[in-house]
């Protein structure tokens, strides 16, 4: 049977959206005649990104709870009831065979309704510290696909499958033609290259750090590929030079990774999974502003396995140059981190997640 129907729900951030799209693409590859529907939160980035990937999406009137008392929080019960009603209508109309949730508040009402009607549901948890929506759904779903060890402290052990996080296929098949990649960026093959990643929108504190340390990097004769993000490009593009290449967004991530000797990055789940596959020495600077401090916990999971270094934003002023210089000057340390982070790579994550979904199709 190839005419299955799948609903995928997750959003709010790229970390929830892109895994859902990757899973849909693999399902579509196996079942070309299947029907797909995404369910997201109105006014969030999934309403734009999912149609760009070629899939239909419907939006729920739902937002997360704020940490302090706000008007948005007072509206939450009304939004939740509205979303549960709309999710019920979507499920009744579309009649999915399996529902997949990748986290984010939109997946809560949808999987709550679908599981209540006996439809098999799969959760995909990207982080080392489970998100609140997925924790609330844990007893209602059939399978929970995770990327880290030790997740039984959040989820029932018998439902957990360690699959890893979906990553872009171009990274799984990353080339090692470094000179060609450096030529693309107009950089010198005889110099060390530092790649700075702050996410698609950019990371304010990382950008401030790099601008402040440009003379330090020049003293080390290090050249930079600096993704400062769309929000900050106008502010930081003035620092571009022969040795400092500044981008709002990197369309050729495979070349950026290939060119790099060392990487500075945020520690979102998707970034961490990609960097494990890339296998270069990484200094993580986690964002302290994400829910439940996910990024710090993701980075700590790698630091505990001697697979990366981590600096908190509060340590940058006093410790950055010491930590970076120690890493830069020690090829042995760079090789050690590279070898250890590569051991954590799970490049076939998307296939393994869809294998679990296929097992559920055999029960419907």
Return binding residues for UDP-N-acetyl-alpha-D-glucosamine: 13-15, 127, 168, 200, 295
Closest by CA to 347, choosing from 171, 101, 161, is 171
**Would you list which residues are annotated within the binding site?**
13-15, 127, 168, 200, 295
- Distant-in-sequence, close-in-space partners of 23: CB < 8 Å, separation ≥ 6: 8, 100, 102, 124, 166, 350, 353, 354, 357
- Answer yes or no: are the C-beta atoms of 299 and 139 closer than 8 Å: no
Find the angle CA(24)-CA(26)-CA(27) to the nearest 5 degrees. 65
The region that residue 252 occupies, defined by phi over 0 for left and psi between -120 and 50 for alpha, beta otherwise, is beta
d(CA 3, CA 10): 23
CB atoms within 10 A of CB 206: 25
Find the angle CA(288)-CA(229)-CA(333) to the nearest 5 degrees. 65
CB atoms within 10 A of CB 362: 6
- Distant-in-sequence, close-in-space partners of 240: CB < 8 Å, separation ≥ 6: 246
Based on C-alpha coordinates, what's the Rg of the chain? Answer: 21
- Distant-in-sequence, close-in-space partners of 109: CB < 8 Å, separation ≥ 6: 60, 62, 80, 83, 84, 86, 87
d(CA 208, CA 211): 5
d(CA 10, CA 124): 9
d(CA 171, CA 315): 31
User: In Å, what is the CA distance from 246 to each residue of 109, 178, 191, 237, 313?
Assistant: 41, 19, 17, 6, 22
């Amino acid at each position: 049977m190839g005419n299955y129907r799948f609903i995928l729900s997750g959003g709010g951030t790229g970390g929830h959206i892109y895994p859902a799209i990757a899973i849909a693409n693999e399902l579509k590859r196996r079942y070309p005649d299947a029907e797909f529907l995404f369910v997201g939160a109105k006014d969030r980035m999934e309403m734009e990104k999912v149609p760009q990937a070629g899939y239909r999406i419907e939006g729920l009137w739902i937002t997360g709870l704020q940490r302090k008392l706000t008007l948005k929080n007072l509206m939450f019960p009304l939004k939740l009831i509205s979303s549960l009603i709309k999710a019920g209508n979507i499920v009744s109309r579309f009649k999915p065979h399996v529902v997949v949730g990748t986290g984010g508040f939109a997946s809560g009402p949808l999987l709550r309704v679908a599981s209540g009607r006996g439809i098999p549901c799969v959760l995909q948890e990207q982080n080392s510290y489970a998100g609140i929506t997925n924790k609330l759904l844990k007893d209602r779903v059939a399978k929970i696909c995770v990327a880290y060890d030790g997740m039984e402290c959040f989820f029932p052990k018998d439902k957990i499958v360690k699959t890893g996080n979906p990553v872009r296929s171009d990274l799984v098949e990353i080339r090692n033609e470094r000179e060609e990649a450096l030529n693309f960026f107009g950089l010198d093959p005889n110099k060390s290259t530092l790649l700075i990643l702050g996410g698609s929108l950019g990371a304010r504190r990382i950008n401030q750090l790099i601008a402040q340390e440009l003379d330090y990097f020049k003293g080390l004769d290090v050249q930079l590929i600096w993704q400062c993000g769309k929000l900050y490009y106008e502010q930081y593009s003035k620092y571009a030079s022969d040795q400092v290449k500044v981008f709002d967004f990197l369309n050729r991530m495979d070349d950026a990774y290939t060119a790099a000797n060392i990487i500075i990055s945020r520690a979102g789940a998707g970034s961490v999974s990609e960097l494990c596959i890339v296998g270069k020495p990484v200094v993580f600077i986690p964002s302290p502003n994400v829910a439940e401090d996910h990024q710090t916990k993701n980075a700590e999971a790698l630091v505990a396995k001697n697979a990366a270094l981590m600096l908190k934003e509060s340590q940058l002023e006093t410790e950055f140059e010491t930590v970076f210089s120690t890493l830069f000057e020690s090829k042995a340390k760079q090789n050690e981190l590279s070898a250890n982070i590569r051991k954590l790579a799970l490049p076939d994550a998307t296939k393994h997640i869809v294998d679990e979904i296929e097992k559920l199709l055999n029960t419907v």
